C-alpha cells in the first residue's frame, strides 16, 4: 500500500530561517446589510398590503425612494466638498479614479469622492399567478444607479459604502486590511513601500 504524506507546514514555518519578522492583517473585508421588512419579496409584499398599496403599484412606490437617495447623495457630497463622478465605462477601475483624487486631496480623514455607476442590483417584480389567483412580488434583477462613497477613516484608512438606488437597497461596506496596516506602520514611523495592494518592502 502506498501512503502519500503531504506537508501542512505554513509558509512562515517552512521558510523560518529566511524571515526576519511577520506582520499580519485582514485582507479585504466586506460587510453587507439591508432593511428589515424590505429584504425579502414576501416581506415587501406584506408591507405594501399593510399600507393599502397595490402590488402592481410597487414601481410608483419605489420611485420616490430612489429620488431621495439621489438627493441625499448630492447633499452629502456638497456638504463635504466632494464631487460625484459618473463612470459609464466598465473597464475603468474605481480604485484608480479615487487614487488620482487622493493624490491631489491628500489622505486626511473624511469623504474623499463619490462615484456613480449603473450596475446590476436586486429588485422585485410585480407578478400575478393565474393558477393560484395570488398577486405578489417576486425577486428579480435589474440595472440601477449605484453610489460609491469613498472616505478615509482615521484607523481603517480608505473605505467605501456602496448604495443602490433600487429597493431593497442592499448595502455594501468595504475596507482593506492592508490600508489599516499601512496606517499603523506610518503612525509608528516604520518605512514601507507598496505596489497596488501588496507590501513590497517594510523596514525593520
In a structure prediction context, what are the per-residue pLDDT tens digits for the chain, which is 204 residues long?
455 455 578 888 888 888 888 888 888 899 999 888 788 899 999 999 999 999 999 999 999 999 999 999 999 999 999 999 999 887 889 989 999 999 999 989 999 999 999 999 999 999 999 999 999 999 999 999 999 999 999 888 899 999 999 999 999 999 988 888 988 898 899 999 988 778 888 887
pLDDT value of position 112 = 95
Residue 37 has a pLDDT of 78
**Backbone dihedral angles phi then psi of residue 165, each to the nearest 5 degrees:** -100, 5
**CB count in 10 Å sphere of residue 152:** 19
25: enclosing H helix or E strand: none
Containing H/E element for 61? helix 58-79
Residue 91 neighbours by CB distance under 10 Å: 5
pLDDT of 7 = 59
- pLDDT at 24 (0 to 100): 83
Spatial CA neighbour of 172 closest among 185, 184, 162, 181: 162
Phi, psi (deg, nearest 5) at residue 149: -100, 110
CA-closest candidate to residue 109, choices 156, 178, 75, 149: 156
Q: How far is 195 from 184, CA to CA, in rounded Å?
A: 17
Residue from 172, 166, 136 nearest 43 by CA: 136
Q: What is the dihedral of CA 118, 195, 173, 154, to 10 degrees?
A: -130
Is residue 137 exposed (0-12), middle (13-18) or buried (19+ Cβ within 10 Å)?
buried
- Identify any residues that bridge with 183 across adjacent strands, giving them in sequence order: none
Amino acid at each position: 500500500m502506498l501512503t502519500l504524506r503531504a506537508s501542512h507546514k505554513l509558509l512562515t514555518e517552512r521558510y523560518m530561517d529566511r524571515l526576519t519578522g511577520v506582520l499580519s492583517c485582514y485582507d479585504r473585508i466586506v460587510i453587507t446589510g439591508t432593511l428589515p421588512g424590505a429584504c425579502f419579496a414576501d416581506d415587501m409584499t406584506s408591507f405594501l398590503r399593510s399600507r393599502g398599496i397595490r402590488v402592481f403599484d410597487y414601481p410608483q412606490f419605489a420611485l420616490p425612494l430612489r429620488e431621495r437617495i439621489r438627493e441625499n447623495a448630492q447633499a452629502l457630497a456638497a456638504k463635504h466638498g466632494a464631487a460625484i463622478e459618473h463612470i459609464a465605462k466598465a473597464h475603468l477601475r474605481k480604485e484608480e479614479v479615487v487614487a488620482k483624487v487622493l493624490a491631489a486631496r491628500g489622505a486626511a480623514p473624511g469623504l474623499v469622492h463619490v462615484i456613480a455607476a449603473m450596475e446590476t442590483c436586486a429588485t422585485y417584480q410585480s407578478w400575478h399567478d393565474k393558477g393560484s389567483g395570488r398577486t405578489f412580488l417576486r425577486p428579480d434583477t435589474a440595472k440601477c444607479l449605484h453610489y460609491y462613497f469613498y472616505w478615509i477613516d482615521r484607523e481603517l484608512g480608505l473605505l467605501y459604502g456602496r448604495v443602490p438606488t433600487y429597493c431593497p437597497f442592499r448595502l455594501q461596506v468595504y475596507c482593506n486590511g492592508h490600508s489599516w496596516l499601512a496606517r499603523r506602520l506610518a503612525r509608528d514611523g516604520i518605512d514601507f513601500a507598496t505596489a497596488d495592494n501588496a507590501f513590497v518592502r517594510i523596514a525593520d
